[in-house]
Amino acid sequence: MNYLLLRYCGIFFLIALHLGASSPNFKLSWPTPNPAFARGLGYSTFLQKTGPDKAVTSGAYGCVRNNGYKFHEGLDLYPVKRDRRGKAEDSIYAAMDGVVSYVNSTASYSAYGKYIVLEHPQLNPPLYSLYAHLHSITPNLKRGSRIVIAQEIGKMGNSSSGYRIPLERSHLHFEMGLRLTDKFQNWYNKKPFTSKNRHDNFSGFNLVGLDPLAFYTKYKNKSISNPIDFIRALPVTVIVQVKTKNIPDFITRYPTLTTQTKSTATNGWTVSFGPYGIPLQLKPVEEMISEKEKQIKILQFNSNTQKKPCRRLTTQKGSEFFPTEQLQTYLELIFGL
Ligand SMILES: [Zn+2]
């Protein structure tokens, strides 16, 4: 059975989407009580746009902000219930069974405001999901707490460090994706940040989101039976060769995203990236890589996948391609460069 779980006013709804073969471990629940997506209604019935005169897609994933120049890594979902002052009252629910990886209960510490990250070890690969701008996080949830699908984990809000989200634009920022490294602090220490890293391995820099709406839609249409099906169907944007002896913890966390079967020494890696820098596959390079070779070399690039102006992975000078700062950052994080 393929269900989308919904919970409204404390009551569970099981919206049976399709009958069919889905992995028994792979069930999705909508993270808010809004039944609109499950009922097949349009974006405007659940996406929070960035302002009254903005396109509804400004609440979607992708190059949707600042005329396409600014990336938005998740979905902004608006509340279905408010108090008389306009304050959101929606509960926030876990999208899948999982484990609490991180809780930030101090709004001023992050642009995400109060946020919680779950990881979903039963999935292939074990995605994370992230719930941000919360009003509050359910008491007693802490790192290692086990969570069941559709369990309440917090309340919707408008918390954020820098930019103040007006009460009337209270929403859930919902993200799902992959985590690049277990050693985020090492990378952070090398960068000229003026404040300390307060979020361990769960800073936004270390998380790469995929498109949750595309993911939920494919789940609903029964075209994926596990997240790996979704990831394998993404187009390859760029293939990069990285010269390093380092074995990234990324492949231990996500073994299905590598062709590496044994942890023997390697001379480097070829990495395929999907849209906006989702790592799709890491392959060890057995052959020697010449001393003269650059540390990061673009092997292949598909310009059709980089038409939008934000989160670009390559730049071109003459006939040669170079990594953008964004791609450089992803590779530094994955390989500890
Ligand atoms: Zn957002």
| Segment 244-288, tens digit of pLDDT | 999 999 999 999 999 887 766 789 999 999 999 999 999 999 889
Ligand 1 mean position to 63 CA, how many Å? 12
Pairing state of beta strands 2-8 and 28-29?
Answer: parallel
Asked if the model's pLDDT at residue 135 lies above 70, the reply is yes
Say if 244 falls within a structural domain.
yes
Question: What is the domain range of residue 170?
Answer: 2-220
Asked if the model's pLDDT at residue 9 lies above 90, the reply is no
Ligand 1 mean position to 164 CA, how many Å? 13
185-231 pLDDT per residue, tens:
999 999 999 999 999 999 999 999 999 999 999 999 999 999 999 99
Do 177 and 31 fall into the same domain?
A: yes
**The predicted structure's pLDDT at residue 291:** 87
Do 142 and 23 fall into the same domain?
A: yes
Domain ends where: 159, 191, 220? 220
Confidence of residue 11 (pLDDT cuts 50, 70, 90): low
Domain ends where: 190, 220, 250? 220
3-state SS assignment for residue 328: helix
Ligand 1 mean position to 175 CA, how many Å? 8
Counting residues of the chain whose pLDDT is more than 90, the rounded percentage is: 79
Do 301 and 184 fall into the same domain?
A: no
Say if 227 falls within a structural domain.
no
Say if 226 falls within a structural domain.
no
The CA distance from 15 to 256, in Å, is 30
Say if 229 falls within a structural domain.
no
Ligand 1 mean position to 269 CA, how many Å? 33
Ligand 1 mean position to 187 CA, how many Å? 25
Burial class (CB in 10 A: 0-12, 13-18, 19+), 25: middle
Q: Which residues, 6 or more positions from 231, have their beta carbon under 8 angstroms from its beta carbon?
A: 125, 210, 257, 274, 278, 280
Say if 228 falls within a structural domain.
no
Ligand 1 mean position to 47 CA, how many Å? 10
Do 173 and 300 fall into the same domain?
A: no
The CA distance from 22 to 225, in Å, is 5
Do 150 and 32 fall into the same domain?
A: yes
Ligand 1 mean position to 299 CA, how many Å? 33
Pairing state of beta strands 268-273 and 238-243?
Answer: antiparallel
Ligand 1 mean position to 156 CA, how many Å? 13
235-245 pLDDT per residue, tens:
999 999 999 99
* Half-sphere exposure (Cβ direction) of 310: Cα atoms closer than 13 Å: 13
